[in-house]
């Protein structure tokens, strides 16, 4: 008789990975990635064509599931995700004081 615990796997962390890499990581761990909307299309359809990144997953990494259970993931196309690190637009261009200045900077004369 096969021991039931042998059919358990640990959910890997896939958030932040490109979808095609996350899919491979999930497969190696023994789980599948799925659309969080069970009535929607398969996640592979949502993440094709192009470069998509995983932005969330459920259940979280470290949870234990049965082999080949689904991990629901949200994906976003490359370049479409908002980031709090992005600078706010400004009407005033940055000052050029940060650029190289031959009178202020020392240079090595190679001639």
Q: Domain map of the chain by residue range?
A: 4-77
Closest by Cα among 63, 79, 78 to 30: 63
Distance CA 60, CA 106 (A): 53
The DSSP call for residue 100 is: -
pTM of the model: 0.68
Distance CA 33, CA 102 (A): 56
Q: Are 33 and 65 in contact (CB under 8 A)?
A: no
Task: Name the fold adopted by 4-77.
Answer: Trypsin Inhibitor V; Chain A (3.30.10)
pLDDT in tens, the chain (111 residues): 556 667 999 999 999 999 999 999 999 999 999 999 999 999 999 999 999 999 999 999 999 999 999 999 999 999 876 654 444 555 666 555 555 555 655 555 555
Which tokens go with 72?
């629901």
Distance CA 65, CA 72 (A): 13
């Amino acid at each position: 008789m096969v021991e039931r615990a042998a059919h358990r796997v640990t959910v890997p962390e896939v958030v932040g990975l490109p979808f095609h890499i996350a899919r491979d990581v999930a497969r190696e761990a023994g789980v599948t990635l799925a659309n969080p909307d069970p009535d929607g299309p398969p996640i592979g359809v949502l993440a094709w064509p192009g470069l998509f990144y995983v932005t969330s997953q459920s259940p979280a990494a470290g949870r234990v599931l049965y082999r080949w259970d689904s991990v629901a993931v949200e994906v976003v196309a490359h370049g479409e995700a908002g980031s709090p690190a992005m600078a706010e637009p400004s009407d005033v261009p940055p000052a050029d004081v940060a650029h190289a200045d031959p009178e202020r900077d020392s240079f090595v004369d190679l001639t």
